[in-house]
A = this chain, B = another copy of it.
Amino acid sequence: MESATYEKTPLNAVNRVRNRAFYDRALIHGIVDATPILHVAFNPAEPEDDPFPIVLPMLGCTASFPGGKSSADETTDPDIYIHGYVSARLMKLPKSDEHAARGLPVTISASILDGLVLSLTPFHNSCNYRSAVVFGYATVVTDAAEKMWAMETITENIIRGRWENSRVPPTQTEMTSTSILRVRIHSASSKVRTGEPIEDRKDLKDDALTAKVWTGVVPSWLQWGEPVPTQANKVPKAPEYLNQWVSEENSNGKEKAVAAATS
């Protein structure tokens, strides 16, 4: 049985402000699943030509095939499934000989801003946030059943209920032109900051300063607006599962951000 935390190694060790670093699996998987846009970084096939990592914004979530979502499971590693929306370069790479065995090394980062932390002085300004970095090996999913399951899992991770409430299954052509990557997790870490600003003791004793400068946290969250129908839409009202999802996401987002401000 694996541990509830990722082993701390030189690769994933957080070296600054160590008391904000966490290696809990459930926490890390939860941050990945709650982040709408993941940033996937990897090196180009011929790095000698080009010293810059490639970074692509992609959609994805943690999951275990066959099985399901496993963020709640604290002791086993799920994979991360990502949808190759903008990633022609990425999708091609794991098929190369060099990476065929283990997969392409990728670094997936997920960051959620929970608020701005405003101190008496700019030096102590900060952010409340939840941030995860996952290192893993990416391969293209070729098994048809796993691919279909991953498409459903990624869709449902975004909007619960959407899959069964739209035209499924995908056609053969749609399946063929969709690429899904499975990333086996090698290591991971997270950083979380909550609460008030740190202050300099001298600033706190400066009555003229504290009388003048407001200090506190401005909470922030991703807000979802009223669904806007397409011109071709024939359904009179936005469906209940969608309105409920919008309302739940908004109240959960706000609640988490405000809790982070005061915790």
Contacts and interface: CB of A to CB of B under 8 A. Distances in A.
A19 interface: no
A11 B52 contact: yes
Nearest to A177: B123
Contacts of A17: 86
Given A36-B127, A115-B225, A215-B232, 9 more contacts: A116-B158, A120-B167, A121-B170, A122-B162, A125-B155, A166-B213, A167-B209, A196-B230, A228-B262
A100 interface: no
Interface in A175-213: 178, 186, 191, 196-197, 199, 203-204, 206, 209-213
Contacts of A218: 159, 224-225, 227-228, 242, 246
A59 to B, nearest CB: 7
A217 interface: yes
A145 interface: no
A129 B85 CA distance: 12
A229 B257 contact: no
Interface of A: 11, 14-17, 36-37, 39, 41-43, 47, 50-55, 57, 59, 85-89, 105-107, 109, 111, 113, 115-116, 118-123, 125-127, 129, 131, 133, 135, 151-152, 155, 158-159, 162-163, 165-168, 170-171, 174, 178, 186, 191, 196-197, 199, 203-204, 206, 209-235, 237-239, 242, 246, 253-254, 257-258, 261-262
A216 B254 CA distance: 24
A119 B41 CA distance: 29
Contacts of A237: 214
A229 B203 contact: no
Given A204-B232, A210-B232, A135 B52 contact: yes
Given A37-B129, A125-B155, A168-B121, A224 B232 contact: no
